[in-house]
A and B are shown apart, each in its own frame.
Chain A
Amino acid sequence: MTVKPIIEIENLTHTYMKGTPMEHVALKGTNLYVEAGECIAIIGHTGSGKSTLIQHLNGLIRPESGRVVIDGEDLAKKKIDLKTLRRKVGIVFQNPEDQIFEKIIGDDIAYGPFKMGLPLKEVRERVKWAMSVVGLDFEEMKDRQTFALSGGQKRKVALAGILALKPKILVLDEPTAGLDPRSRNELLDKIKRLNKEEKLTVIFVSHNMEEVAMLADRVYVMADGKDVLSGTPKEIFTDKEKLVRHQIGTPETVQVLYRLTDLGYQVRTDAFSITEAADEIMKLFAGRKEGTEHVQRI
């Protein structure tokens, strides 16, 4: 991990409606460094600048001041190849199922690759790959109509539509919002696989701290247009003082462990994955006699 970061954002600012009465400063000097292959979570309250920040990553918003370098390309330059950039950085917006406009699933996923001017054979390969990654059966689903899909399936189609561009960096804005628990877990699993097996650099925005704890290698906390905190989930979720100061939510496991320490029990508060936390709690019971049985009954 000594190579140059794939994403370098330094001191980035952005103002909406500059020079009008409706002027609104969304970014006030944000930094973000991401190395190839990392999985980064961006958290923060609504209006903290997360969406504005990620829209800089594929040039939807051009840097007003500050530095944005994506895979060696400086986006502050006047002439940048937006098409290539947008293929390299795939952004999946919130509720991406709305963007499906073709009648047939295969056509919708193939939209991007066809726009790239790829030959049919290559397009088909890419669609096949994208569908298999998100867990849609190619032969069975490619000719189906899009409107008949469930919400979770539509989201998979939308994700496949981005993946078919074969991006190096995948950016997701609240990817699991509004999904049922089963689709949610399934989608998180796919994202994890893309990061670990397909070696995609993943950046995702989330309000769900369990997701953050489960997926992210590192976390950036945004507040009021700035990155106020960054580190591994372990570092972030164990810094109680900062958590309170920036009003960051924590995974439920962490909350339980903190409550236990407050009550005077000896537990490690950095054990936030569900299995680890369970082990910690079990240890407490192991200290007494019939405790273990009690937990097992639950």
Chain B
Amino acid sequence: MSSEFDISRNITIGQYVPTGSFIHRLDPRIKLLIFVFLVVAIALNTSYIGNAVGLILSLYLFWASKIPISYGLSGVKPAIPFIIILAVLQLLFQGQLFSGGKVFVDYGFILITSESIRLVIVSAVRFIEIIFLSSVLTLSTSTTELTHSIQSLLSPLKKMNFPVHEISLITTISIRFVPTFAIEMEKMMKAQASRGADFGSGSWWRIIQRTKEMFPIIIPLFNIALARAEDLILAMEARCYTPGGERSTYSVYKAVTKDYLILLVGLLLTLLLLFYPFPI
């Protein structure tokens, strides 16, 4: 009912669902690594069998994480119309580019071939695979674990002067400030509405006017963000924070044999999806 201004309560970032499954207990670095590998492999795989393997795998992982299925479906459901629209468009217009294979329909500009059907099906399935995979990652790993993992995984790059620790700190700051800014924005929308602002009045085609109507929200948002940044810079410098310094972390991850085994399985699956010549 009061959803008009509800922002802070509706955003979910790093929505951790603790179930205690083995996926939750997996070394987060390994989990992240496998996730990245599998997403790339799935994104590049164009075979039916390959994507079937990917689909079964992602559904299995979701099941194994013991997260209620509703979380996964809530990602897929709103996308169904888009999947259908994309499928229709691809079917109608991509045929000329995918003219290989058997021709089913050849009518005017419409060319439907076995290859263009493959494109349609693989695009849709790939989408579902990635939805479930990323749900498993974000629902079974806390944001702290994720940022630590990024830092730890990138640490070999330190030798090449890649700012690993800095990147990890940036990620932490970003995630930390989203809820803060969301609350500020909700307050700002209410405050500006209280003095007569309404967002989205005025003629639709007057781009400049329409954009300026958002100024009462957008300008304070950036001002608050940058002012917070100044405070934080001051606070960090006052404590003699120096970028690039050697520092230890509070939580240390230690991968055990089981973790390495799972990494090995993940790697093998990735290689399979990437390089195995699936017959169809």
Contact = CB atoms under 8 A, between A and B. Distances in A.
Chains A and B in contact, CB within 8 Å: yes
A161 interface: yes
Interface string B97-108: 000000000000
Interface in A155-201: 161-162, 165
A86 B196 contact: yes
A129 interface: no
Interface residues of B, number: 24
A17 to B, nearest CB: 5
Interface in B168-222: 184, 187-188, 190-198, 215-216, 219-220
A99 B191 contact: yes
B195 A111 contact: yes
Interface in B214-233: 215-216, 219-220, 223-224
Given A16-B9, A101-B216, A93 B2 contact: no
A58 B187 contact: no
A8 to B, nearest CB: 20
Nearest to A96: B191
Contacts, number: 70
A58 B4 CA distance: 14
A90 B194 contact: yes
Contact of B9 (A17, A100, A111): A17
A55 B190 contact: yes
Contact of B220 (A14, A90, A101): A101
Contacts of A55: 190
Contacts of A98: 184, 187-188, 191, 220, 223-224
Contacts of A62: 1-2
Interface in A94-130: 94, 96, 98-101, 111-112, 115-116
A-side interface size class: 20 to 34
B196 A111 contact: yes
Contact of B215 (A17, A61, A87, A101): A101
Interface string B16-53: 00000000000000000000000000000000000000
Contacts of A161: 195
A111 B220 CA distance: 15
Max chain A CB contacts within 10 Å: which of B191, B194, B198, B215? B194
Contacts of B220: 98-101
B255 to A, nearest CB: 33
Contacts of B197: 111, 115
A32 B25 CA distance: 52
Contacts of B187: 93-94, 98
Contacts of A116: 196
Nearest to A100: B220
Contacts of B224: 98
Contacts of B223: 98, 101
A90 B220 CA distance: 20
Contacts of B4: 60
Contacts of A93: 187, 190-191, 194
9 contacts: A16-B6, A83-B196, A90-B194, A91-B194, A99-B192, A101-B220, A112-B196, A162-B194, A165-B196
The 5 closest A-B pairs by CB, nearest first: A115-B196, A112-B195, A101-B219, A112-B196, A91-B194
